[in-house]
């Protein structure tokens, strides 16, 4: 009995660490993405290479380890849906930037923990009051972090796009957690097919672009940034996201996603000389306090 409890607690710790890694790695997007945008790389091209390179690296690694890639047709359809959902989250987020400030978009995207909880309620799986409190506190923290100074122009279309990004991400998390059809499929296989589906989707979305497909991709710096974008905020983020969701559930994993905006803001401050305000520091403090509360209450509840 003691050994089982130790194994469970270790498993929970792995889930929490994986959720933390997913948030931090996804928050590295500006580190690689901002130089690519400044080099003139079209968004659809950047997203295609992001998913395509990730799928190549992960697929080669799985083949080297002799991990099976073969799946059934009914499983393939669901994995394709996961890939479409994750890709749609990226597309709608980037499109929302055209209409509303990126800070407001980031704030609206962080609605996804609330969407996750609401979807779980529909499925009659009710989050604890501790989870709801953590979601509320981290939402307040993210609002303080991301809302720009001064007046904010509200554009209905942009806000809807950002909300759709959050909803797509929430659906991805919930399906990974609750679907019995893919429960036996490893995180590696799940992520590989999601990445492959996303790369095909972004290849087609690049066709209407006016700029040439490889615009801005003709330097070593751009190549390294594309590889970094593919490895850290894409492949590693999706792998750890799937692992965390399966161990500690989609609600707690969603709360840990608060490390995404925190990491992005810290990178902008430390590397791109962006201004950090006292309000943003307060937001970070609230988020960290909420996460510590969730981790402590989770540990205590499992020990009882």
Q: Which of 224, 191, 263, 270 is nearest to 41 (CA)?
A: 224
Residue 243 · residue 14 · CB < 8 Å: yes
Domain residues of the chain, as ranges?
17-303
pLDDT at 149: 60
Q: Is the pTM of this model over 0.75?
A: yes
Distance CA 300, CA 50 (A): 40
Q: Which of 105, 83, 81, 104 is nearest to 93 (CA)?
A: 105
pLDDT at 3: 46
Distance CA 46, CA 253 (A): 27
pLDDT at 10: 54
User: What is the number of other CB atoms lying within 10 angstroms of the CB of residue 260?
Assistant: 23
pLDDT at 236: 95
**Alpha carbon separation from 56 to 47, 94, 192, 227, 258 (Å, rounded):** 14, 24, 9, 11, 29
Query: pLDDT averaged over consecutive 10-residue blocks of the chain (304 residues)?
Result: 45 90 91 89 91 96 91 92 92 83 74 89 86 89 75 75 92 92 91 94 84 89 95 94 91 88 85 81 88 75 54
Going by C-beta distance under 8 Å and a sequence separation of 6 or more, which residues neighbour residue 181? 74, 75, 78
pLDDT at 169: 92
């Amino acid at each position: 009995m003691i050994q089982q409890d130790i194994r469970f607690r270790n498993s929970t710790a792995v889930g929490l660490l994986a959720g933390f890694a997913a948030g931090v790695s996804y928050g590295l997007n500006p580190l690689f993405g901002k130089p690519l945008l400044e080099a003139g790389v079209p968004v659809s091209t950047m997203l295609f290479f992001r998913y395509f390179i990730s799928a190549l690296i992960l697929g080669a690694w799985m083949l080297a380890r002799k991990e099976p890639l073969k799946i059934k047709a009914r499983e393939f359809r669901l994995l394709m849906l996961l890939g479409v959902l994750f890709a749609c989250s990226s597309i709608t987020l980037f499109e929302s930037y055209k209409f509303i400030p990126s800070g407001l978009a980031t704030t609206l995207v962080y609605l996804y923990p609330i969407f996750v909880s609401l979807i779980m309620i529909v499925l009659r799986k009710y989050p604890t009051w501790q989870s709801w409190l953590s979601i509320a506190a981290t939402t307040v923290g993210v609002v303080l972090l991301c809302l720009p100074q001064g007046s904010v122009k509200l554009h209905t279309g942009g806000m809807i796009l950002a909300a759709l990004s959050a909803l797509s991400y929430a659906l991805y998390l919930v399906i990974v957690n609750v679907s019995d059809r893919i429960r036996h499929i490893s995180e590696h296989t799940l992520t590989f097919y999601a990445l492959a589906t996303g790369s095909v989707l972004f290849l087609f979305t690049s066709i209407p672009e006016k700029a040439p497909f490889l615009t801005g991709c003709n330097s070593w710096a751009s190549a390294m940034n594309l590889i970094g974008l593919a490895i850290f905020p894409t492949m590693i983020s999706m792998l750890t996201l799937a692992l965390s969701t399966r161990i500690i559930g989609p609600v707690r994993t969603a709360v840990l996603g608060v490390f995404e905006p925190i990491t992005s803001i810290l990178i902008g401050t430390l590397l791109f000389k962006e201004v950090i305000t006292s309000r943003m520091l307060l937001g970070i403090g609230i988020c960290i306090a909420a996460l510590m509360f969730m981790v402590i209450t989770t540990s205590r509840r499992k020990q009882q």
